[in-house]
A and B are shown apart, each in its own frame.
Chain A
Amino acid sequence: MDIIFEGLKQALSLLISFDPEVMGITWLSLKVSGTATLISLFIGIGIGTAVALTSFPGRQIVVGLINTGMGLPPVVVGLFVTIFLWRNGPFGALEILYTPLAIIIAQSIIATPIVMGITLAAMQQLPRKLRLQILALGATRFQMVWLLIKEAKLSLMAAVMAGFGGVISEVGASIMVGGNIKGYTRVLTTATVMETSKGNFDVAIALSVILLLFAFAINMVLTRVQQRERPR
Chain B
Amino acid sequence: MTVNEPRTPILQGENIQVQRGGKRVLDVSSLKIVPGEILSVIGPNGAGKTTLLQALSQLIRLGQGNIYFQGKKIGADMPPLEYRRCLAMVFQEALLFDTTVYANVASGLKIRGVKSSEIVSLVNTRLQQFGIEHLRDRSAKTLSGGEAQRTSLARAFAIEPQLLFLDEPFAALDPPTREALLEDLNRILRTSGTTAIMATHDQVEALRLSDRIAVMNEGRIVQIGPPAEVMNHPVDEFVASFVGMETIFEGKVLNCERGTTTIAVSRSAYPATADAPPTSMTNSPSSMAEASGLDVGALIIEVAGQAKAGEQILCCIRPEHVTLSPGVRADRSSARNAFPTVIARISPAGAFYKVHLNGGFPLVAYVTVQSIEDLDLRVGTIVTASFKATAVHMIRRG
- Per-residue CB contact flags for chain A residues 130-142 toward chain B (1 = under 8 Å, else 0) read 1011011111100
Residue of A nearest to B84 (CB): A138
CA gap between A153 and B97 in the complex, in Å? 12
Determine if A147 is an interface residue (Cβ-Cβ < 8 Å).
Answer: yes
Q: Which residues of B contact A136 (CB under 8 A)?
A: 57, 59, 84, 87-89, 165
> What are 13 A-B residue pairs whose CB atoms fall within 8 Å in the complex?
A127-B93, A129-B93, A133-B91, A135-B84, A136-B57, A136-B87, A136-B88, A137-B111, A138-B112, A229-B98, A231-B141, A231-B142, A232-B142
Q: Is B40 an interface residue (CB 8 A)?
A: no
| Interface pair A137/B107, CB less than 8 Å apart | yes
CB neighbours of B108 from chain A (8 A): 137-138
**Does A143 lie at the interface of the complex (its beta carbon under 8 Å from any beta carbon of B)?**
yes
Within 8 Å of chain A (Cβ to Cβ): is B1? Answer: no
**Those of B58-111 within 8 Å (CB) of chain A:** 59, 81, 84-85, 87-89, 91, 93, 95, 97-98, 107-108, 111
- CA–CA, A232 to B137, complex, Å? 13
Could you tell me if B89 and A231 are in contact, using CB atoms closer than 8 angstroms?
Answer: no
Q: With A and B bound together, what is the CA distance between A154 and B97 in angstroms?
A: 13
Which A residues are CB-close (under 8 A) to B323?
Answer: none
Q: Check B84–A130 contact: CB distance below 8 A.
A: no
B393 near A: Cβ within 8 Å? no
A229 cross-chain contacts in B, Cβ below 8 A: 98
User: Which residue of A132, A138, A153, A231 contacts B54 across the interface (Cβ within 8 Å)?
Assistant: A132
CA distance A146 to B319 in the complex (A): 53
* A138/B141 in contact, CB under 8 A: no
Does chain B have a CB within 8 A of A95? Answer: no
A135 to B88, CA, bound (A): 9
Interface presence of A151 (CB below 8 A): yes
* For the complex of A and B, 8 pairs with smallest distance between CB atoms: A231-B141, A136-B89, A138-B85, A133-B95, A137-B108, A132-B59, A139-B111, A231-B139
Write the A146-165 contact mask toward B (1 if CB under 8 angstroms, else 0): 01001101100000000000
Q: Which residues of B contact A150 (CB under 8 A)?
A: 97
Give the residues from 175 to 232 in chain A that come closer than 8 angstroms, CB to CB, to chain B. Answer: 229, 231-232
User: In the complex, A140→B110 CA distance in Å?
Assistant: 12
B318 — which chain A residues lie within 8 A by C-beta?
Answer: none
Residue pair A151, B165 in contact (C-beta under 8 Å): no
- Chain B residues with Cβ under 8 A from A132's Cβ? 54, 59, 89, 91
- Please classify the interface of chain B as helix (H, G, I), strand (E, B), loop, or mixed, using the class held by over half of its residues: mixed
Tell me the residues in window 138-171 of chain B with beta carbons closer than 8 Å to chain A beta carbons. 139-142, 155, 159, 165
Q: How far is the CA of A127 from the CA of B142 in the complex (A)?
A: 17
CB distance from A76 to the nearest CB of B (A): 38
Let me know if A137 and B142 touch, CB within 8 A.
Answer: no
Task: Indicate if the CB atoms of A129 and B111 lie closer than 8 Å.
Answer: no
Q: What chain B residues lie within 8 Å of A138 (beta carbons)?
A: 81, 84-85, 108, 111-112, 159
Complex CA gap A135/B59 in Å reads 7
- Distance between B69 CB and nearest chain A CB, rounded to angstroms: 14
Within 8 A of A (CB), among B8-61: 54, 57, 59
CA distance A156 to B169 in the complex (A): 31
Report Cα–Cα, A133/B93, bound state, in Å.
10
Query: Which residues of chain B from 358 to 390 have a CB within 8 Å of any chain A CB?
Result: none
| B111 & A143 in contact (Cβ 8 Å cutoff) | yes
Query: Complex formed: what's the CA distance from A28 to B193 in Å?
Result: 65
Known pairs A132-B89, A136-B165, A137-B155 / 20 extra A-B pairs, C-beta < 8 Å: A127-B95, A129-B91, A130-B95, A133-B95, A135-B59, A135-B84, A136-B57, A136-B89, A137-B88, A137-B159, A138-B81, A138-B85, A139-B111, A140-B81, A143-B111, A153-B98, A231-B98, A231-B140, A231-B141, A232-B139
A129 & B95 in contact (Cβ 8 Å cutoff):
yes
Contacts of A232 in B (CB 8 A): 139, 142
For the complex, give the distance between the alpha carbons of A129 and B54 in Å. Answer: 11
Q: Which residues of A have CB within 8 Å of B54?
A: 132
Q: How far is the CA of A61 from the CA of B217 in the complex (A)?
A: 38
- With a cutoff of 8 Å between Cβ atoms, the chain B residues found around residue A153 in the complex are 98
* B142: chain A residues within 8 A (beta carbon): 231-232
In this complex, what residue of B is CB-closest to A229? B98
* Shortest CB distance A86–B (Å): 48
B-contacting residues, A15-58, CB 8 Å: none
Partner of B97, one of A135, A143, A147: A147
Chain B residue numbers with a CB within 8 Å of A143 are 111
Please give, as numbers and ranges, the residues of chain A lying within 8 Å of B141 by CB-CB distance: 231
CA–CA, A71 and B35, complex, Å? 58
Tell which of B85, B97, B112, B139 touches A151, judged by Cβ atoms closer than 8 Å.
Answer: B97
Residues in B neighbouring A151, C-beta threshold 8 A: 97-98
The distance from the CB of A104 to the nearest CB of chain B, in whole angstroms, is 33
Residues in B with CB closer than 8 Å to A231 are 98, 139-142
**In the assembly, what is the distance between CA of A140 and CA of B112, in Å?**
10
Mark each residue of chain B from 290 to 312: 1 if its CB lies under 8 Å from any CB of chain A, else 0. Answer: 00000000000000000000000
In the complex, A231→B159 CA distance in Å?
26
Interface centre among A127, A130, A135, A140 (most CB of B within 10 A): A135
Name the B residues within 8 Å of A139 (CB-CB): 111
Instruction: Give Cα distance in the complex from A137 to B86, angstroms.
Output: 9
A227 to chain B, nearest CB (A): 14
Say how far B79's CB is from chain A's closest CB, in angstroms: 11
* Cα A154 to Cα B141 with chains together (Å): 14
Binary per-residue interface labels of chain A (84-97) against chain B in the complex, 1 for a CB within 8 Å, 0 otherwise: 00000000000000
Provide the bound-state CA to CA distance between A186 and B91, in Å: 56
Bound-state Cα–Cα, A16 to B141, Å = 46
Chain A residue with minimal CB distance to B82? Answer: A138
List the B side residues contacting A130 at CB < 8 Å. 95
* A137 proximity list for chain B (CB < 8 A): 88, 107-108, 111, 155, 159
Give the docked Cα–Cα distance between A150 and B107 (Å).
Answer: 13
